[in-house]
Amino acid sequence: MIRIGGLEPFTLSDYPGKVAAVVFTQGCNFRCPFCHNSSLLEIEHHQSQKLSCDDVCNFFRKRKHQLDGIVISGGEPTLQNNLTSFLITLKDMGYFIKLDTNGSNPKALIDLISKRLLDYIAMDVKAPLEKYEILSGTSLPYEKIKQSIKIISESNIEHVFRTTFVPPLLSDEDILSIKSMIPKNSPYIVQPFIKENALDKTLAQP
């Protein structure tokens, strides 16, 4: 069963060019100090789960003529064991699917792309490789990040790479270093840091 931490029923800003909704999956393998979705980090939700997979699927069946796309965000969606079957169900309803990912699971990306379950991918590139442990809050094989960038950029699927610019942790030089990691044929954007809900409360201070 896919673990669902929340549902945003309508958005015009999360899926470029589409009227969409956002499904937030529960659980993440990163602990980014600037994360603003801290309630989604733990795989086990301590509160009673508000939405089941069936609830969400029924919602989308009723909204087929009002929505174009669905954003699968998190948390980190590729941690979900049944993500493939969930996306097949949504695709069978006729929806465009956008995946938000931290790029830590290139194997899952290959599987979803090969099954033609994704129409748009947004990957967060947290930092230059030498700062990745600080910005992701965890240690991981950096090679996986490089693999995911390559997989997405060569997928022929619409995509974007993006970085949240956190001034205490990243510099302008870091942004240039990250940009050098992104293939020239791929879009790259820098997002502002929203400090109010940061996981690291020291970053939320004025």
So what's the pLDDT on residue 84?
A: 98
Give 108-149 pLDDT, tens digit per residue. 999 999 999 999 999 999 999 999 999 999 998 889 999 999
pLDDT at 188: 98
Confidence of residue 38 (pLDDT cuts 50, 70, 90): confident
pLDDT tens readout for residues 57-112: 999 999 999 999 999 999 999 999 999 999 999 999 999 999 999 999 999 999 99
Residue among 142, 123, 144, 122 nearest 133 (CA): 142
HSE at residue 185, side-chain half, CA atoms within 13 A, is 10
CATH code for the domain in which residue 19 is found: 3.20.20.70
Percent of the chain with pLDDT over 70: 97
Residues above pLDDT 90, as percent of the chain: 83
- pLDDT of 140: 80
Structural domain containing residue 126: 4-204
pLDDT of residue 158: 98
- Mean pLDDT value of segment 38-51: 73
Domain count of the chain? 1
Distance CA 113, CA 107 (A): 10
Read off the pLDDT band of 45 (50, 70, 90): low
**What was the pLDDT predicted at 13?**
96
Q: Tell me 28's DSSP state.
A: -
The closest of 32, 45, 61, 60 to 2, measured between CA atoms, is 45
Q: Name the DSSP class of 48.
A: P
d(CA 112, CA 122): 14
Distance CA 68, CA 72 (A): 14
CA distance 178 to 194: 20
pLDDT tens digit sequence for 149-191: 999 999 999 999 999 999 999 999 999 999 999 999 999 999 9
Cα distance between residue 155 and residue 149, in whole Å? 10
Residue 48 pLDDT more than 50? no
Whole-number pLDDT of residue 44:
72
Distance in angstroms (rounded) separating the CA atoms of residues 20 and 76: 19
